[in-house]
Amino acid sequence: MQFVLVHGGWQGGWCWDAVAALLRDAGHRVVAPTLRGSEYGAVDRAGITLTDIGDGLVKQIERLGLRDLVLVGHSGGGPVVQYVAERLAKITRWVIFASGWVLRDGESINSVLPVPVVDSVVAAAAASPDNTVPMDPDLWQHGFMGGAPDDVVVATLGRLVPVPIGWLTEPISLSRFWRGDTPTLPASYVLFRDDVATLRSTYATMAERLGVPVVECDGPHEAMLTHPDAVARALLACAQP
């Protein structure tokens, strides 16, 4: 199988390094790209949208000539893999959401998040010079990393980048991903058991949209960084039912 591991906001493909190594050891091909606007360093992130991010990943997959795709989207990467699956359905085998957002046609990520979270990110973007949302260090440590050792928190915090607000606010276009209330491709939902980045009910709603059982996996929102063995096992269980 060809796994395409898609990160969420503030990170890059590096967050999947340990999981990718385990999947390769199990005999699978793996790519974990860094999405447009999530590159480290002095990058112009102003005006980048969900469409820009999705189109960038579609082009990268096509350029690499990948086939038999298992698309894995973590957190805000969920809608990105939906976007890709919509456009590359003929070569997509499975779509897996890992504590990720599952959107209906015409929704944005902000459509499914709790109002206080939406208000916070919109205000943060408005206060920034390039309409991006920085990561709050306390939120990263306690809301995302969930008790990870301090040295791991500090090391990963130093690699984070701001999120273009367009990733969160642009409505997605999905004319073929859904047939009524059912995905047109096989899909799974992995919930990180100790994830407190948002309300548990939000994750439950996302899984209910897919109409599939939840596959639970140890770890906080960033379980790829803290519990890579458990995440790799969960992804393999989903893609090889």
> How is the chain split into domains, by residue range?
2-239
Residue 241 has pLDDT above 80, yes or no: no
Q: What is the pLDDT of residue 147?
A: 80
Please state which CATH number belongs to domain 2-239.
3.40.50.1820
Q: Out of 75, 99, 108, 188, pick the active-site residue.
A: 75
Contacts 24+ apart (CB under 8 A), 31-34: 31/2, 31/3, 31/4, 31/5, 31/64, 31/66, 32/4, 32/5, 32/6, 32/7, 33/4, 33/6, 33/57, 33/60, 34/7
Q: What tens digit of pLDDT does each residue of 10-47 get?
A: 999 999 999 999 999 999 999 999 999 999 998 999 99
Q: What's the burial of 130, exposed, middle or buried (CB within 10 Å: 0-12/13-18/19+)?
A: middle
Is 75 catalytic? The answer is yes
Written as six digits, the tokens of 223 are: 């379980």
Report how far residue 92's alpha carbon sits from residue 5's, in angstroms, rounded to the nearest whole number. Answer: 13
pTM score over 0.95: yes
Share of the chain above pLDDT 70, in %: 100
Q: What is the pLDDT of residue 100?
A: 98
Q: What tens digit of pLDDT does each residue of 176-215 get?
A: 999 999 999 999 999 999 999 999 999 999 999 999 989 9
Report how far residue 123's alpha carbon sits from residue 115's, in angstroms, rounded to the nearest whole number. Answer: 12
